């Protein structure tokens, strides 16, 4: 087992990882930027070190500083959380070079899955269904035009290095496509320093269904059911739930088997998520694999009873998985609302500031993963998500009722948050019916607070 784990992250996920470390009797080392001195993860950790100025590139992305702190503190492992360096293969390699365990897959698996075009090709070879499109990145516009004519419009052009919903553009016809490729290349170069783009069929109204997997170092891979993340705004998830209202146990098994095949194809270890698009005919297509823990992992924890972060820690320390496939049972329904410091009545404009009062909800089946406290400062420098409200219910209806009740209790004063948006959504007929797709929010009208 590890004795001391450095958490190379901030916010709610750093708090979440510290909690897991404590339950496993591991010491937790926090790091923070100058802007994050007075944050919860810093006060909760056993030790904390400032790693640089506010800008993420000088602090949370500063590999040399992180390694120096880990060595100084005597940490035997680094947990990268999500975002920041969590899917950086060079960082994973550097950790291992210094004898520090990187809590995640090896650098090669990260590299293969991190380049989306390479990942798709690897999956195709492993027999996992992929969205029809170009083999690898687009070299010549003529090839893209030919492919688009073959698969039919609309098509979507995506950055091979993309993430977070960035670097994607849809073309409705031949006329648009050449221009869209130019724009996407430029955007991808500016955002990711890699102008490689690829093309695939743009599915009309798919659902986003992703499968959680967990693998140990002996090559055992287990899937822990799916999450439905179809409630998205500009390709960014806002609400997630488990199980998916759109799939039955037969489809769950097939998607699970595809996710396990995907993981095995890259000799995966640790926690990972295989994302699929599901069309209305029950056909599913691999979209990408995230080689880290995800924001929405708690909904899986709530329906399986498995602590995914603790499992990440024990697996990285060399232990076998603590469960087998036949041990996994999906019990009831879980739902998560992302509470962002944004004003939904003003096009989700960021709303940083001081939290003057904070009363989180509680009671049976309610979980809040957050780093907020009364008097804390929400800075504009990082991710705007400040809390996750997760509920469990015996079925979907029960979970929705509990979510409404918990949202009503949740009071965050001093900043605007997405709570009013979630309250409206939980009453929306379409949402309540469970019959919606990733385009649902495009036509959804947000009422003023």
Binding of residue 235 to ligand ADP (CB under 6 A)? yes
Q: Of the candidates 27, 208, 227, 367, which one interacts with ligand ADP according to CB under 6 A?
A: 208
Binding of residue 244 to ligand ADP (CB under 6 A)? no
Q: How far apart are CA 191 and CA 72, in angstroms?
A: 33
| Pattern 348-387, ligand ADP, x by CB under 6 A | ----------------------------------------
In this structure, are residues 237 and 163 in contact, taking their beta carbons and an 8 Å threshold? Answer: no
**Measured distance between the N- and C-terminal CA atoms of the chain, rounded to whole angstroms:** 49
Catalytically annotated residue among 233, 292, 396, 402: 292
Please provide residue 154's backbone torsions phi and psi, each rounded to the nearest 5 degrees.
-75, 155
Take residue 387 and report the two structure tokens written for it: 């809390």
Q: Of the candidates 164, 282, 305, 320, which one interacts with ligand ADP according to CB under 6 A?
A: 164
Q: Which residues contact 271 (CB under 8 A, 6 or more apart)?
A: 104, 212, 213, 214, 292, 293, 297, 308, 311, 312
Stretch in the footprint of ligand ADP (CB under 6 A) among 20-28, 164-172, 404-412, 427-435: 164-172
Please provide residue 116's backbone torsions phi and psi, each rounded to the nearest 5 degrees.
-65, -35
In the sheet that holds 197-201, the strands lie side by side as 168-171, 155-159, 197-201
Q: Which residue is nearest to ligand ADP (CB)?
A: 438
Q: Of the candidates 278, 287, 337, 406, which one interacts with ligand ADP according to CB under 6 A?
A: 287
Q: How far apart are CA 197 and CA 157, in angstroms?
A: 6
Binding of residue 131 to ligand ADP (CB under 6 A)? yes
Binding of residue 202 to ligand ADP (CB under 6 A)? yes
CB of 166 to ligand ADP, least distance (A): 6
| Residue (of 73, 112, 68, 105) closest to 86 by Cα position | 105
Q: Of the candidates 241, 288, 296, 307, which one interacts with ligand ADP according to CB under 6 A?
A: 288
CB of 123 to ligand ADP, least distance (A): 13
CB of 215 to ligand ADP, least distance (A): 21
Please provide residue 88's backbone torsions phi and psi, each rounded to the nearest 5 degrees.
-100, 105
Binding of residue 232 to ligand ADP (CB under 6 A)? yes
In this structure, are residues 289 and 112 in contact, taking their beta carbons and an 8 Å threshold? Answer: no
Choose between 297 and 402: whose C-beta lies nearer to ligand ADP: 297
Q: What's the half-sphere exposure (Cβ side, CA atoms, 13 Å) at 416?
A: 15
Choose between 42 and 156: whose C-beta lies nearer to ligand ADP: 156
In 74-115, alpha helices (H): 89-97, 107-114
Binding of residue 105 to ligand ADP (CB under 6 A)? no
Strands 27-33 vs 4-7: parallel, antiparallel or unpaired: parallel
For the question of residue 65 being annotated catalytic, the response is no
Binding of residue 163 to ligand ADP (CB under 6 A)? yes
CB of 210 to ligand ADP, least distance (A): 9
Binding of residue 283 to ligand ADP (CB under 6 A)? no
Q: Three-state SS for 76?
A: coil
Binding of residue 228 to ligand ADP (CB under 6 A)? no
Binding of residue 156 to ligand ADP (CB under 6 A)? yes
Q: Which helix (H) or strand (E) holds 39?
A: none
Binding residues vs ligand ADP (CB under 6 A): 131, 156, 162-166, 200-203, 206, 208, 232, 235, 275, 277, 287-288, 438
Which residues participate in catalysis according to the annotation? 292
């Amino acid at each position: 087992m590890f004795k001391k784990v450095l958490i190379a992250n901030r916010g709610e996920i750093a708090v979440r990882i510290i909690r897991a470390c404590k339950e496993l009797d591991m010491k937790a080392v926090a790091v923070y930027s100058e802007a994050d001195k007075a944050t919860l993860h810093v006060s909760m950790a056993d030790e904390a070190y400032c790693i640089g100025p506010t800008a993420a590139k000088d602090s949370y992305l500063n590999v040399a500083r992180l390694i120096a702190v880990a060595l100084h503190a005597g940490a035997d492992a680094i947990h990268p959380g999500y975002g920041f360096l969590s899917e950086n293969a060079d960082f994973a390699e550097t950790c291992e070079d210094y004898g520090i365990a990187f809590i995640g897959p090896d650098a090669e698996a990260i590299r293969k899955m991190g380049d989306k075009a390479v990942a798709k090709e690897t999956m195709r070879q492993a027999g996992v269904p992929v969205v029809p499109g170009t083999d690898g990145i687009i070299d010549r516009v003529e090839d893209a035009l030919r492919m688009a004519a073959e698969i039919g419009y609309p098509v979507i052009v995506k950055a091979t290095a993309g993430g977070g919903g960035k670097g994607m553009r849809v073309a409705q016809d031949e006329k648009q496509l050449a221009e869209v490729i130019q724009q996407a290349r430029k955007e991808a170069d500016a955002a990711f320093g890699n102008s490689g783009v690829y093309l695939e069929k743009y599915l009309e109204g798919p659902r986003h269904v992703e499968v959680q997997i967990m693998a140990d170092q002996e090559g055992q891979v287990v899937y822990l059911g799916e999450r439905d993340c179809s409630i998205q705004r500009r390709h960014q998830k806002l609400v997630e739930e488990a199980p998916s209202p759109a799939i039955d146990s037969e489809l769950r098994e097939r998607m699970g088997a595809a996710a396990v095949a995907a993981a095995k194809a890259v000799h995966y270890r640790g926690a990972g998520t295989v994302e699929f698009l599901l069309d209305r005919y029950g056909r599913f297509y691999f979209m990408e694999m995230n080689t880290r823990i995800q924001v929405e992992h708690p909904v899986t924890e709530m329906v399986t009873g498995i602590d995914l972060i603790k499992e990440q820690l024990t697996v990285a320390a060399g232990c076998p998985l603590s469960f087998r496939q036949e041990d996994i049972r999906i019990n009831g329904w879980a739902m998560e609302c992302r509470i962002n410091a944004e004003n939904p009545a003003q096009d989700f404009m960021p709303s940083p500031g001081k939290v003057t009062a904070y009363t989180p909800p509680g009671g049976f089946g309610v979980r809040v993963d957050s780093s907020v406290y009364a008097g804390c400062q929400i800075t504009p420098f990082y991710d705007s998500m400040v809390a996750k409200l997760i509920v469990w219910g015996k079925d979907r209806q029960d979970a929705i009722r509990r979510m409404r009740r918990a949202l009503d209790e949740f009071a965050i004063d001093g900043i605007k948050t997405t709570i009013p948006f979630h309250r409206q959504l939980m009453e929306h007929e379409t949402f309540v019916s469970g019959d919606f797709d990733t385009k649902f929010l495009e036509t959804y009208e947000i009422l003023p607070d």
